[in-house]
Chains A and B, each alone.
Chain A
Amino acid sequence: MLSFTIRRLLAAIPTLLLISLVIFLLVDLAPGSPLSDIPLTVPPEVRQKMLAAMGADQPVMVRYVLWLKQFFWIEPLYGIDALFGTDFAQGAQRIISWQSKVPVFQIIGERLPQTLTVVGTAYLIGVLIALPIGIYSAYRQYSWFDQAGTFFAMAGFSVPTFFTGNILILIFAVNLGWFPTIYDTNLTVTDWASMKAMLLQMALPVTVLALFNAAEISRYTRSSVLENLGQDYVRTARAKGMGEGKVLLKHVLRNSLIPVVTVIALGLPTVFGGAIVTEQIFKINGIGAALIGAINVSDLPTVQTITFIFAVLIVMFNLIADILYGILDPRIRYD
């Protein structure tokens, strides 16, 4: 298992390099200039100087290699410095946002907690409600519970989050006034009152995203459990006199989780990126909002860096899914 993990990690390096190159070139091809916001009255030679100051006048390959060095070498050094108070980086050039002129990783560091609290919580809740619903729906196939579960899953999966989000805002925030309409990023939890405010403002976005995630995962769980319930080993377990609880939650569940774990693990990176729309609706100042903002003003370093981080996450969770696979299913242990 360990050698498998190491082999997979090494194999990920060329994959990630290729992805980074593709991202870099694609983003660079996009129309627009980092100076679109600058008034037209600024003379061309000044514009040229501004571009040179940002390094945007360099050929694309030079910028790419420079970015690689900054991403994989300089930024980690800054990370170590920040953690241990050392000074390895020695003031080397970081990846700087063209828009706000601050290091991109600093922006990420400010935005990530927002995304994690809201979207991460939503994903966790989604998984936690999807698994029991999926299992029970399959066990009592075609019961009213299953029918209701199917209905909500179809609704949750097919209605886009920007629609459910707006509907929920309209009903619960505007008409009923139970929840705030806008997520206040500056709110920090210090006491019970602020805790309550935090939970209240989290409620709507978390509900919207959890519903969406739960819909998908519960369907996968249901079909996987259904498939396994018909297997011969289930009959064997019953013939041994095992109780229904043990049959379902030990024998069937362990087998059913194998495909579901992949869906859950591969869905995790979307926690960071896929919630872009929801972050917009609820005005959550998260990483998705940062990405959208950067795209709008052709802030190439920010777009490239955030997109590449998503790519790293996807490759990483792929690996985690494979490892979990091996843990759950002895037939595909990689040794």
Chain B
Amino acid sequence: MPDGAEPVLDVRGLKTIFRTRGGEIHAVNSVSFHLRPGELLGVVGESGSGKSVTMMSLIGLLPSPPAEVRAGEVLLGGRDLLKLSPRDLQAVRGAKVGFVFQDPMTSLNPVFNVGNQIMEPLIKHMGMTKAQAETRAAELLALVGIPDAKKRLKSYPHQFSGGMRQRVMIAIALACDPDVLIADEPTTALDVTIQAQIIELIKELRQKLGMAIVWITHDLGVIAGIADRVMVMYGGQVVEQAPVRALFANPQHPYTRALLKTVPSLTGERAARLEVIEGQPPLLSGVPVACPFRARCAHAHDRCDAENPVRRAVDGKPVGQGHDVACHWSPEVANG
């Protein structure tokens, strides 16, 4: 590893399909990425690009059937999670990998108080007694910035606001001090000021606890502010991957470039209309044999129809370590 540290999470060639009446949907196609200790990896892409499905495949959270993880390796602490028995995988979920979901209004169980829900993983994974778990749960609530934590343990989810519920979700995800936190659009369902608070909270917790984070989002602005590295997904594939500065300074893939253009700017001349990417995301039925973006790509040529591009390095470092892109076209060649 160039940065010296072994990755905490190393995903290689992950393929997930959904069996449907209309045939197989290739939702995740040969996705590879890794996560170094303490690193924050941003995953961007539009709805249906396979971001969430990829992350849920890692720890067996997809309902099977219809989902099936067909190939790949998910190495966490030297073990391949895809080869673990369901029982062993349960011991990983919540203990080594914490999950925060998009909608805090529905992600908590409405009929149990939040204390109960935070204590559950503590009792199961850390072998704590009820009393110990209660003390720890109060600490966790205080850690995520909920005042009067001890008293609030007895409160039910409906007695919290959306932002507070997301804080509770974060407390649950961090309860067992996981190596990896997967945050699946944790701020999408919240209003803007609350979004900023949650982002600040996760930044702060990352400094304190040092876990690695995968942050799935639509919001490139958020990614620019917090991520170390960015992975852009399209049509179930990784189309570009780079350190955050390199990606924003020198986007390679036409999709990434288009995505960056859609971000409205506060400074400079106000464009008449917001930029959009014309066309629809692809249907992922059948084994992908062509570039998934070709139908919407301004630079598409014959090769894009015939061959699905593989990731190639842009900056000379090995694929995955530096800046890489999966595209037959390159701006350098185009610009001469």
What 0/1 readout, one digit per residue, does chain A (221-255) give for beta carbons within 8 Å of chain B?
00000000001110111111111101000010011
Taking CB atoms, residues of chain B closer than 8 Å to A258 are 111
Docked-complex contact B90 and A232, CB < 8 angstroms: no
B296 within 8 A of A: no
A173 within 8 A of B: no
Contacts A232-B101, A243-B90, A331-B156; is A237 near B109 (CB within 8 Å)?
Answer: yes
Docked-complex contact A241 and B158, CB < 8 angstroms: no
Taking CB atoms, residues of chain B closer than 8 Å to A91 are none
Docked-complex contact B61 and A240, CB < 8 angstroms: no
Task: In the complex, identify which listed stretch (B119-127, B228-236, B282-290, B315-323) lies at the interface while the others stay far away.
Answer: B119-127
Docked-complex contact B106 and A255, CB < 8 angstroms: no
Taking CB atoms, residues of chain A closer than 8 Å to B120 are 237, 240, 242, 246
Docked-complex contact A236 and B91, CB < 8 angstroms: no
Compute how far the CA of A241 lies from the CA of B172 in the bound complex, rounded to whole angstroms: 11
A124 within 8 A of B: no
Taking CB atoms, residues of chain B closer than 8 Å to A246 are 120
Interface residues of B in 101-123 (CB under 8 A from A): 101, 103, 106-113, 120-121
Residue of B nearest to A250 (CB): B112
Taking CB atoms, residues of chain B closer than 8 Å to A244 are 86
Compute how far the CA of A238 lies from the CA of B113 in the bound complex, rounded to whole angstroms: 18
Residue of B nearest to A236 (CB): B107
Docked-complex contact B99 and A233, CB < 8 angstroms: no
Docked-complex contact A240 and B172, CB < 8 angstroms: yes
A31 within 8 A of B: no
Docked-complex contact A241 and B93, CB < 8 angstroms: yes
Compute how far the CA of A251 lies from the CA of B120 in the bound complex, rounded to whole angstroms: 11
Query: Would you give the shortest CB distance from A229 to chain B, in whole angstroms?
Result: 9
Taking CB atoms, residues of chain A closer than 8 Å to B156 are 330-331
Interface residues of B in 31-45 (CB under 8 A from A): none
| The residue from A233, A242, A255 contacting B90, defined by CB atoms under 8 A apart | A242
B59 within 8 A of A: yes
Taking CB atoms, residues of chain B closer than 8 Å to A35 are none
A168 within 8 A of B: no
| The residue from B92, B110, B113 contacting A255, defined by CB atoms under 8 A apart | B110
Docked-complex contact B110 and A329, CB < 8 angstroms: yes
Residue of B nearest to A233 (CB): B109
Residue of A nearest to B102 (CB): A232
A328 within 8 A of B: yes
Docked-complex contact B61 and A239, CB < 8 angstroms: yes
Compute how far the CA of A236 lies from the CA of B61 in the bound complex, rounded to whole angstroms: 9
| The residue from B94, B106, B112, B169 contacting A254, defined by CB atoms under 8 A apart | B112
Compute how far the CA of A217 lies from the CA of B27 in the bound complex, rounded to whole angstroms: 39
Compute how far the CA of A231 lies from the CA of B93 in the bound complex, rounded to whole angstroms: 18
Taking CB atoms, residues of chain B closer than 8 Å to A239 are 59, 61, 93-94, 98-99, 101, 173
Docked-complex contact B121 and A232, CB < 8 angstroms: no
Docked-complex contact A329 and B111, CB < 8 angstroms: yes
Chain A interface: which size bin? 20 to 34
Docked-complex contact B101 and A330, CB < 8 angstroms: no
B291 within 8 A of A: no
Interface residues of B in 172-213 (CB under 8 A from A): 172-173
Docked-complex contact A241 and B91, CB < 8 angstroms: yes
| The residue from B90, B101, B125, B158 contacting A236, defined by CB atoms under 8 A apart | B101
B95 within 8 A of A: yes
Taking CB atoms, residues of chain B closer than 8 Å to A255 are 109-111
Compute how far the CA of A286 lies from the CA of B13 in the bound complex, rounded to whole angstroms: 71
Docked-complex contact A231 and B106, CB < 8 angstroms: yes
Taking CB atoms, residues of chain A closer than 8 Å to B107 are 232-233, 235-236
Taking CB atoms, residues of chain A closer than 8 Å to B106 are 231-233
Residue of B nearest to A244 (CB): B86
Docked-complex contact A241 and B111, CB < 8 angstroms: no
| The residue from B94, B101, B172 contacting A235, defined by CB atoms under 8 A apart | B101
Taking CB atoms, residues of chain A closer than 8 Å to B169 are 236
Docked-complex contact B110 and A241, CB < 8 angstroms: no
Query: Would you give the shortest CB distance from B183 to chain A, in whole angstroms?
Result: 12
Taking CB atoms, residues of chain A closer than 8 Å to B124 are 240-242
Taking CB atoms, residues of chain A closer than 8 Å to B111 are 254-255, 258, 328-330
Docked-complex contact B101 and A240, CB < 8 angstroms: no
Query: Would you give the shortest CB distance from A299 to chain B, in whole angstroms?
Result: 49
Docked-complex contact B91 and A331, CB < 8 angstroms: no
Interface residues of A in 78-117 (CB under 8 A from B): none
Compute how far the CA of A29 lies from the CA of B90 in the bound complex, rounded to whole angstroms: 68
Docked-complex contact A330 and B93, CB < 8 angstroms: no
Taking CB atoms, residues of chain A closer than 8 Å to B172 are 236, 240
Taking CB atoms, residues of chain B closer than 8 Å to A331 are 110, 156, 158
Docked-complex contact B93 and A238, CB < 8 angstroms: yes
Docked-complex contact B109 and A240, CB < 8 angstroms: no
Taking CB atoms, residues of chain A closer than 8 Å to B173 are 239
| The residue from B95, B108, B158 contacting A233, defined by CB atoms under 8 A apart | B108
Query: Would you give the shortest CB distance from A77 to chain B, in whole angstroms?
Result: 44
Taking CB atoms, residues of chain A closer than 8 Å to B61 are 235, 238-239
Docked-complex contact A233 and B110, CB < 8 angstroms: yes
Compute how far the CA of A251 lies from the CA of B173 in the bound complex, rounded to whole angstroms: 17
Compute how far the CA of A316 lies from the CA of B86 in the bound complex, rounded to whole angstroms: 47
Query: Would you give the shortest CB distance from B174 to chain A, in whole angstroms?
Result: 11
Query: Would you give the shortest CB distance from B173 to chain A, in whole angstroms?
Result: 8
Docked-complex contact B121 and A240, CB < 8 angstroms: yes
Beyond known contacts A232-B101, A240-B124: 16 more, CB 8 A cutoff: A232-B103, A232-B106, A233-B106, A233-B107, A236-B101, A236-B108, A237-B120, A238-B61, A241-B93, A241-B95, A242-B94, A251-B109, A251-B112, A254-B112, A255-B110, A258-B111
A–B pairs, 10, beta carbons within 8 Å: A233-B110, A235-B107, A236-B99, A237-B109, A241-B95, A241-B124, A242-B90, A242-B121, A243-B90, A254-B111
